[in-house]
Amino acid sequence: MKINEAAKHLNTTPRAIRYYEAKGLISPKKDEANDYRTFTDTDLMRIGTILALREVGFTIAKIKKLLEDPEMSMTQYLHVQRQALFEQWMEMRDMIETIDQMIGQENEDETTMEDMQQLAAHLKKLKEIRSSWKDRWNFDSQAETYDEQVQLRGQAFDIHQGYEEALAQTAEKISLIRGQTCLDIGIGTGNLGARFLDKGASVIGVDQSDMMLQKCKEKHPMIETRQGHFLALPMLDHQVDAIVTSYALHHLPDEEKLLALAEMDRVLKANGQICITDLMFPNEVDRKAALHQYEAAGNQLAIDCIADEYFADQSLLAAWFMEKGYQVETHQFHTFLGMIYAKRVTNA
Ligand SMILES: C[S@@+](CC[C@H](N)C(=O)[O-])C[C@H]1O[C@@H](n2cnc3c(N)ncnc32)[C@H](O)[C@@H]1O
C-alpha cells in the first residue's frame, strides 16, 4: 500500500505518517528509484497502534520507548499512562474548583485580594501534597517476602499482631452481593481483596507498587490490578460498591489521609461502604499513653516503628466521614490496630 492509501485506510494524513517515520517510529520499505514508500500489514498495524496511543495522550518519546522495550508490555504502559492522566485530571479538577470559588467570591461585595490569594495558596498546597508522596519503604523490594513477613511472630514490636483476625473481620463487615465491585487500595499481594472474590464480587486492586501488583495477580488472577495512588485513584466517579484498605493508609501523613478519604468518597457509589483497617490509635490521648508505656518498658523498637510511619488518629478519620453524612462504626483490635466502617447514607 502506498502512503496516500495507508493514510486513508487509517484515517490520518500522509504528513503524520512521514512525521512518525522521521521520528524513527516506523520504517516502511522505500523504492530507491523514486523514494515511494510501501506499507505492509505490519506497518499499518504499527501506525494504528501509534495513532491510538497518541489519542490517549502518549508523547512520541514514550511511544518510541514502548515500541523498542521488549521488557515492558503494552498493558503495563497503558497502566502507567492511565495513572498519569488521572493525576493530571485531579490537578485540573482542583484548579477548576478553585476558579469556581474565586468567581463565587468575586460576586460577593467584600472580596479582597487577600481572599483570592488565600485560595491560590490553598491550591498550591494541594498540588504540593498530591505530588510529594514517595515510597520510602521500597514496597517493590518487599513483594516477594511480604506474605512470610506478616506471619512472623516474636519481635519486641509485632506490627502485624492480629493481622489475620483483622482481615477476616474486615471482609465480614462488608456485605456485597454477586456482581458488585469492591476496590482494595494498597492491595499488596491481595490478602484482603481476594476474600471478596469468594463472595462473588469483582475485585479491583490498586497499588503504587508494580511488584506487589504482579505478586497479587500471580496469586489471584481474577483480581483486576491497577497501578495507582490513594491520592489519585485510577477510576471515574461513583464506580464501586465497596472500598477496603488494610495496612496501607498509614503510609500517608495525616493531611494526605484526608485527601485519600475524599478520593474514596469520589469513587464510591450511592449507599456504598468503606472499611479501613489499619495501624491507628483511637485518638491523640491514647497515642501518647501508648508511647509513654513503650518508653517506660524501654521498647525502642516500638517507638522507632511508630515514628517511621503515620499511625492514624481514628477519631479524626471518623469525624471526617460523619461530617460527610456517613454512618460510622469504629472498632479497636488492640492498642494500635483499628477499623473504621463507614456507610454512605446520602446519595452520591
Ligand atoms: C503493608 S502493605 C499492605 C498490603 C495489604 N493491604 C495487606 O493488608 O496485606 C502496604 C501496601 O500499600 C501500598 N501503598 C502504600 N502507600 C500507598 C499509596 N500512597 N498509594 C497506593 N498504594 C500504597 C504499598 O505499595 C503496599 O503494597
191 ligand 1 Cβ < 6 A? yes
**In a shared domain, residues 186 and 278:** yes
- Which of 68, 94, 117 corresponds to the end of one domain? 68
Burial 171-192 (b: 16+ CB within 10 A, else e): bebbebeeebbbbbbbbbbbbb
Question: Can you tell me the distance from the alpha carbon of 86 to that of 49, in angstroms, rounded to the nearest whole number?
Answer: 22
Ligand 1 within 6 A of CB of 256: no
Q: If you average pLDDT over residues 338-347, what whole number do you get?
A: 90
Query: Are 219 and 198 contacting, i.e. CB atoms less than 8 angstroms apart?
Result: no
Query: Exposed e or buried b for every residue in 75-92, given b needs 16+ CB within 10 A?
Result: ebbbbbbbbeebbeebbe
What's the gap between Cα 274 and its chain centre? 15
- Whether residue 144 is found in the same domain as residue 270: yes
The answer to whether residues 18 and 126 belong to one domain is no
> CATH number, domain at 190?
3.40.50.150
176 lies in the same domain as 260: yes
Q: How far apart are CA 290 and CA 148, in angstroms?
A: 27
Q: 152 and 119, same structural domain?
A: no
- Residue 191 domain flag: yes
When mean pLDDT is compared across 36-50, 112-126, 267-281, the lowest value belongs to 112-126
The answer to whether residues 185 and 96 belong to one domain is no
Least confident of 6-20, 56-70, 222-236, 252-266: 56-70
Separation of CA 26 and ligand 1 centre (Å): 40
Asked whether 170 lines ligand 1 (CB < 6 A), one says no
- Which of 40-49, 183-192, 269-278 is the least confident region? 40-49
Q: What is the pLDDT of residue 320?
A: 97
Domain count, the chain: 3
Ligand 1 in reach of 188 Cβ (< 6 A) = yes
Contact by Cβ (8 Å): 342, 323: no
- The reported pTM is 0.83
Name the residue with the closest Cα to ligand 1, atom 25: 209
User: Strand, coil or helix: what is 144?
Assistant: coil
Q: From 87, 227, 251, give the residue whose CB has the most ligand 1 atoms within 8 Å, as the site to mutate.
A: 251
Say what angle helices 41-55 and 60-68 make with each other, to 10 degrees: 130
Ligand 1, residues 133, 136, 138, 139: which to mutate, most atoms within 8 A of Cβ? 139
Residue 75 lies in a domain: no
User: Taking 80 as the threshold, does the pLDDT of residue 70 lie above it?
Assistant: no
- What's residue 156's pLDDT? 87
Q: Of 92, 116, 132, which one is at a domain's C-terminal end?
A: 132
Task: State yes or no: pLDDT of 45 exceeds 60.
Answer: yes
Select from 68, 99, 119 the last residue of a domain. Answer: 68
Write the residue with the smallest CA distance to atom 24 of ligand 1.
186
Strand partners, 30: 37
Q: Is the CB of 229 under 6 A from ligand 1?
A: yes
What end-to-end distance do the CA atoms of the chain give, in Å?
52
- Arithmetic mean of pLDDT, 170-191: 96
pLDDT (average), residues 101-122: 79
Q: Where do we find the cell 501508648? A: 290
267 grid coordinates? 469513587
Q: Where in the sequence is the domain holding 91, given as residue range(s)? A: 81-132
In a domain, 329, yes or no: yes
| Interior angle at CA 18, CA 15 and CA 23, nearest 5 | 125
User: Is 12 among the domain residues?
Assistant: yes
Residue 109 has pLDDT above 70, yes or no: no
Looking at ligand 1, which atom is closest to the CA of residue 207? 22
Mean per-residue pLDDT of the chain: 92
| Burial of residue 218, with CB atoms counted within 10 A of its CB: 0-12 exposed, 13-18 middle, 19 or more buried | exposed
Return the best residue to mutate from 151, 164, 187, 227 for the ligand 1 pocket (most ligand atoms within 8 A of CB): 187
Residues facing 227 on adjacent strands: 207
Inside any domain, residue 145: yes
Residue-wise pLDDT for 220-255, tens only, equals 999 999 999 999 999 999 999 999 999 999 999 998
- For residues 205 and 187, is the Cβ–Cβ distance under 8 A? yes
Q: What's the Rg (C-alpha) of the chain? A: 25
* Whether residue 118 is found in the same domain as residue 248: no
Q: Are 276 and 185 in contact (CB under 8 A)?
A: no
344: enclosing H helix or E strand: strand 337-344
Q: Are residues 239 and 323 in the same domain?
A: yes
* Alpha-carbon dihedral sign for residues 256, 329, 344, 267: positive
Residues 276 and 313 in one domain: yes
Helix, strand counts (H, E) of the chain:
15, 10
Determine the pLDDT at residue 290. 96
pLDDT for 111 equals: 67
Ligand 1: atom nearest CA of 190 is 5
Give a yes or no: residue 73 inside a domain. Answer: no
Pairwise CA distance, residues 310 & 139, whole Å: 16
* CATH number, residue 50: 1.10.1660.10
Measured from the CB, is residue 186 less than 6 Å from ligand 1? yes
**Considering the chain, what percentage of its residues have pLDDT values greater than 90?**
68
344 CA to centre of own chain: 21
Is the pLDDT score of 117 beyond 70? yes
Q: What is the pLDDT of residue 233?
A: 93
What pLDDT shows up at residue 296? 95
**For residue 347, what pLDDT band results from cuts at 50, 70 and 90?**
low
Domain assignment present for residue 338? The answer is yes
**338 and 278 Cβ atoms separated by less than 8 Å:** yes
- Cα separation of 325 and 345, whole Å? 7
Ligand 1 closest atom vs CA 260 = 19
Whether 160 and 264 share a structural domain: yes
Within 10 Å of residue 55's Cβ, how many Cβ atoms? 8
Q: Give distance in angstroms: CA of 187 to centre of ligand 1.
A: 6
The confidence score (pLDDT) of residue 33 equals 84
Do 172 and 231 sit in the same domain of this protein?
yes
Lowest mean pLDDT among 41-45, 141-145, 276-280: 41-45
| 76 belongs to a structural domain | no
- Distance, in Å, from the CA atom of 208 to the CA atom of 99, rounded to the nearest integer, reads 30
Residues 291-331 have pLDDT tens digits of 999 999 999 999 999 999 999 999 999 999 999 999 999 99
CA 207–ligand 1 middle distance (angstroms): 6
- How much of the chain, in percent, has pLDDT values that exceed 70? 97
Both 104 and 205 in one domain: the answer is: no
